[in-house]
């Protein structure tokens, strides 16, 4: 089933895989409506570190999906940092392949998935819609794929400073202390 709208970049494809499991043998009737919900903007995602929180609207109801993403493995973090050294993180498919070929597939691992809906099925349509929406967002900006796995956090606090080039050019607004705006922090 070729799907050109979600997962056209390798980074986004990882999230499509959560919805369209490889071990799945029969078509999942929930998938088309999950895709439609993602496409129609029924999914509103906010990030908090490695936690993805999504408000999903369906019909008159609203569900909240919470997904915890595991931190990226140290090996993958180091490998991607090495690949990115010197340049702005423009995450191409080539970089993905190179990282995977080096033995550190950057695909995310989910620690936990939880939905507030009362559905009894193991995977509800809300959850699937969130996977698709994540794929769409990551296709547009693959940095999210790293961000949600704590890649930039690790690099900021880890001392090994992988994304050195980014740190040189820009610094995130929310990491600055506005109290020392006019003076220099001691």
Assess contact for 124 and 117: CB atoms under 8 A.
yes
Our CB check for another protein shows the closer of 63 and 99 to be 99
Q: What is the nearest approach in angstroms of another protein to the Cβ of residue 111?
A: 26
Indicate the SS3 state at residue 181: coil
Judged by beta carbon, residue 2 or residue 173, the one nearer another protein is 173
CB-nearer residue toward another protein: 92 or 121:
92
* Cα–Cα dist 153/158, whole Å: 8
Closer CB to another protein, 22 or 184, in the complex: 184
Whole-number Å distance between alpha carbons of 50 and 69 = 5
Identify the three-state secondary structure at position 85. coil
Q: Can you tell me the distance from the alpha carbon of 27 to that of 25, in angstroms, rounded to the nearest whole number? A: 7
Smallest distance from another protein to CB 146, Å = 15
Binding site for another protein (CB under 8 A): 8-9, 86-88, 90, 92-94, 139-141, 165, 167-174, 176-185
- 143, 91 in Cβ contact below 8 A? yes
Closest separation between CB of residue 21 and another protein, Å? 24
- Give min distance, CB of 173 to another protein, in A: 5
């Amino acid at each position: 089933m070729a799907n050109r709208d979600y997962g056209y970049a390798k980074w986004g494809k990882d999230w499509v895989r959560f919805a369209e499991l490889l071990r799945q043998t029969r078509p999942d009737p929930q998938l088309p409506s999950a895709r439609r919900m993602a496409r129609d903007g029924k999914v509103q995602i906010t990030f908090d570190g490695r936690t993805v929180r999504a408000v999903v609207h369906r019909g008159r109801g609203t569900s909240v999906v919470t997904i915890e993403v595991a931190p990226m493995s140290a090996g993958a973090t180091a490998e991607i940092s090495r690949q990115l050294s010197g340049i702005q993180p423009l995450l191409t498919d080539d970089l993905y392949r190179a990282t995977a070929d080096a033995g550190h597939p950057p695909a995310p691992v989910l620690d936990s998935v939880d939905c507030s809906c009362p559905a009894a099925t193991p995977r509800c349509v809300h959850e699937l819609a969130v996977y698709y929406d994540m794929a769409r967002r990551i296709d547009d900006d693959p940095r999210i794929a790293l961000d949600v796995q704590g890649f930039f956090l690790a690099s900021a606090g880890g001392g090994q400073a992988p994304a050195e080039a980014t740190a040189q050019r820009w610094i995130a607004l929310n990491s600055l202390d506005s109290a020392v705006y006019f003076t220099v922090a001691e």
